[in-house]
Chain A
């Protein structure tokens, strides 16, 4: 019988209790690998499973929690051997007892990028190997997970390599977050989207402490809820757990009204706990929760409930933006990040990501952009492309629940995009157009919207995950169409109950004073039921419209948000008084004093009258040289030097934008590849060097951290680079630095190498064959000057 049938047949399903605790009782030593006992002491394992089955477990977890490639690497045993032996032991114990055997999979033990060094694909592979080795199990359990991203890799590996039911449980702390910051709601919406069969919480706390988390979970998922708590809390010195089996069972029954269905125990529990648990639960009735699930998109740390208008920032899009196109062509991911961060600070809730441009590999760029954005921004993303392969690549590496932009009423679109949305558990924007184009009337657009919704529902995508875009037409060209759009929107909201999306800025194309038209159209649309305006949040008037609407429509209860943004009656602080000899137009002053906004503003002013190169050579470079020599002489210290560099960076960005707009290519003094070497994840030093080098006009190709040795060489060759900078923080990663230099010498001999980083010394740098040792970020600029001029 399948798990699904078991879930339907039984009120409550009983899992087992701790394996580790039982093994320590039998004589397992601390630090030993428990999974190896499947081979060396099968009788111990079978005995423990039997005890649980006799106590009432319907499902026992095979002893495979840490049986992954990484944890077994020094054991001399393969994943296949260990997992197969474990399943065999569990099956033997379960034989004739009407119990099921779960392949039990815990965290890999290494953190995924960007925190750690493991890539999403490697994690997928590690889980895939376990899933295949565990093919004899009845179901797959992923438990004690703290990283939603790792769990997504695990679930995809299970779904794509088996058809067994999947149960997932994550481990939360008292603050309602996992160690990596994942919330209960993000877990619930992401995993239900990915199509697991049951989900819940295990380990870390006792039943009592987990109560508020279960309560939260019951609101966020329609799946059966799993709970496997510890036997209370451990004593910090002795490690003893605080509650006995009777108290455990008693406390667990208090969670029945919240909707728990699949129950067991984790650390510190034993067969006695399961026996008491079953005794207590068998006389109770299952209370199925009836959650009203919301329209949601999320990152692990940030769940955006679309229960009121939420702003989608439109700025990550090259359409009509020369500077953005240039950035895409140059692989300049930092520019994309700067666009994201500006919108975050302006108040966007969600970011649209469109990186489509002829001449670039859109799929690769989408993956890079998604990875880079989720590393630094906590807003959910809306993946925007017309190419299904690009969407799928983005969906795969996205951490959380994203929005797909978009599907439309064309058959081809419906049949390719919707299955992706279903598989990856996303939400989707449905455009009201089809083979015949955009219908003129509200009636026809509503028809297409209805069609999209019913096609989505037919493959199991709920309409709460379909966001309809009734399409804004340009008022100057089709004035009579404006109200058609709004009328269609109103019907979609009222009759279909879907969320509604609208790209607002298009309305004013070709008109003067576009902001006035845009912000008023936005307000009109909001009153008709627009919930997801796609706008430029950096324009104050647009956010003013959104925030006033939210106040007036009683979403912003007590006007808290509105007042926090506009309630200050004191004028914005003016720039601090300039030092002696300086004046407000003084760029060097802004640089020396770390005034970022001022620096950009002054540069913009200067560009009206002064040639860009004159600003760079006459003002910026001398100012940088001054702070550089102040740093060398010890007059200022590192944070001040970096602050000055940051101001100069914002000035350069203004100049770049100016040059791009006027069609001039900005001058480069040469390209430099920077990388923190393989195995090293601490890259702050390299990042400081990058900022300074860019200030001096070098094009920095930043390969990031934990960079494969050969990739450095390949990039240097491909981009014809003659200076490579390598950084390492740890003694343990210096060998990677040496290898990288060796490879460069062999394959790209006319390339100079400078090295730096905490553990390096000039002597060591020489001994591993580097050309230059940079003591600090400033010195790396001096070296670049020598090598590249």
Chain B
């Protein structure tokens, strides 16, 4: 893959640049972006499910899975179905970050941030594809386990629902971390009619848990 300017700009934000002069850092960032582009092999899969709102949560029809919590209920409000998405940069990205950490920690950190940024673009691409294929439908934005009160314990069932280990090499550890680490699972609501526009704030950012700015009561500027 080739990292876009958007990937790089967002990666710099993840590095904590926030309006600083990044000129001196750009040779390193460019080199890392090139290496990451070669090492990463982005893959994604998704599948549509009809949904049913029940007392326990939102049931995905034809499966054993029910999504619990208020946040996902609000997110899928007005939807008739949802798409489950699994995406990953694959093991190569992790391996590059790991290798670099043995002799160039700065490059490792920069690559890590760029990879976090790049997986967002992979999801964007997948979402764009869905929107084109379902052009007569209206889609919500991506909602992932860990956002709001949607539990991380959903990771294993979502991954197995799509058979994502077999199809894109995505696994979940006992502590509910996705491996390869630069991966995303997400739920996108599908509706027949236009949905009220919801604010997409910090809670729906993949960096939500780990964001230094948010912790300091601040905002990254993205």
Name A's B-contacting residues (CB within 8 A): 29-32, 107, 109-111, 114-117, 144, 146, 171, 173, 175, 178-181, 203-204, 236-237, 239, 334, 337-338, 341, 375-377, 593-594, 634, 636-640, 642-643, 645-646, 678-682, 684, 687-688, 691, 729-733, 736, 758-759, 761, 776
Contact = CB atoms under 8 A, between A and B. Distances in A.
Contact of A759 (B47, B63, B103, B210): B210
B156 to A, nearest CB: 9
B205 to A, nearest CB: 13
B153 to A, nearest CB: 9
B36 to A, nearest CB: 14
A265 to B, nearest CB: 15
Contact of A115 (B20, B91, B109, B212): B91
A376 B100 CA distance: 8
A690 to B, nearest CB: 9
B199 interface: no
B125 interface: no
Ranked nearest first, the 7 interchain pairs of A and B with the lowest CB-CB distance are: A179-B169, A758-B210, A679-B175, A643-B106, A642-B106, A31-B64, A376-B102
A680 B47 contact: no
B18 A759 contact: no
B174 A117 contact: yes
B2 interface: no
B133 interface: yes
Contact of B181 (A109, A239, A636, A682): A682
A115 B94 contact: yes
B136 to A, nearest CB: 14
A32 B198 CA distance: 34
A72 B101 CA distance: 36
Contacts of B209: 730-731, 758-759
Given A144-B166, A337-B102, A637-B18, A761 B215 contact: yes
Interface string B69-104: 000000000000000000000111011011101111
Nearest to A679: B175
Instruction: Give the one of A636, A639, A640, A776 with max B CB within 10 A.
Output: A639
Given A684-B97, A733-B175, A31 B133 contact: no
A341 B179 contact: no
Contacts of A32: 64
B1 interface: no
Contacts of A758: 209-211
Contacts of B109: 638-639, 642, 684, 688
Given A109-B171, A181-B92, A687 B108 contact: yes
B30 interface: no
Given A638-B109, A639-B25, A730-B209, A111 B176 contact: no
Given A109-B165, A637-B16, A179 B90 contact: yes
Nearest to A31: B64
26 contacts: A29-B62, A30-B62, A109-B165, A110-B174, A171-B166, A179-B168, A179-B169, A237-B133, A334-B102, A594-B28, A594-B106, A637-B17, A638-B109, A639-B106, A640-B24, A640-B25, A679-B174, A679-B175, A679-B177, A687-B108, A729-B210, A730-B175, A730-B177, A731-B209, A732-B152, A758-B209
A732 B175 contact: yes
A101 B24 CA distance: 64
A181 B112 contact: no
A32 B163 CA distance: 11
Which of A179, A377, A634 has most chain B Cβ within 10 Å?
A179
Nearest to A117: B173
A776 B213 CA distance: 13
A76 to B, nearest CB: 15
A552 B34 CA distance: 34
B210 A31 contact: no
B157 interface: yes
A642 B46 contact: no
Contact of B173 (A107, A116, A180): A116
A111 B112 CA distance: 20
B90 A376 contact: no
B180 A115 contact: yes
Nearest to B104: A646
A684 B177 contact: no
Nearest to B41: A175
Nearest to A114: B98
A731 B209 CA distance: 8
Contacts of A111: 171, 173, 179
Given A116-B179, A638-B15, A729-B210, A684 B112 contact: yes
A376 B175 contact: no
Interface of B: 15-18, 20, 24-25, 28, 41, 45-48, 62-65, 90-92, 94-95, 97-99, 101-106, 108-110, 112, 133, 146, 152, 157, 160-161, 165-169, 171, 173-177, 179-181, 209-212, 215
A341 B102 contact: yes
Contact of A30 (B41, B48, B63, B211): B63
Contacts of A729: 177, 210
Contact of B176 (A30, A180, A730, A736): A730
A758 B209 CA distance: 7
A234 to B, nearest CB: 8
Contacts of A678: 175
A30 B41 CA distance: 27
A678 B177 CA distance: 12
B175 A29 contact: no
Nearest to B108: A684
A507 to B, nearest CB: 31
A634 to B, nearest CB: 8
B173 A110 contact: yes
Given A109-B171, A376-B99, A691-B105, 15 more contacts: A29-B63, A31-B157, A107-B165, A110-B171, A116-B179, A338-B103, A341-B103, A375-B98, A377-B99, A637-B20, A639-B110, A681-B181, A688-B105, A731-B152, A759-B210
Given A29-B63, A175-B41, A681-B181, A376 B174 contact: no
Nearest to B39: A181
B206 to A, nearest CB: 12
Contact of A646 (B47, B90, B105, B157): B105
Contacts of B210: 729, 758-759
B161 A31 contact: yes
A774 to B, nearest CB: 12
Contacts of A638: 15-16, 109
B56 to A, nearest CB: 16
Contacts of A730: 152, 175-177, 209
A646 B99 CA distance: 15
A116 B108 contact: no
A294 B152 CA distance: 48
Contacts of A376: 98-99, 101-102
A145 to B, nearest CB: 11
A681 B180 CA distance: 10
A13 B102 CA distance: 48
Contact of A679 (B17, B101, B168, B173): B173
Contacts of B101: 376, 684, 687
A681 B90 contact: no
A496 to B, nearest CB: 38
A171 B163 CA distance: 14
Nearest to A146: B169
A47 to B, nearest CB: 23
Contacts of A679: 173-175, 177
Nearest to B15: A639
B171 A237 contact: no
Contacts of B91: 115, 179-181
A171 B24 CA distance: 44
B66 to A, nearest CB: 11
Contacts of B41: 173, 175
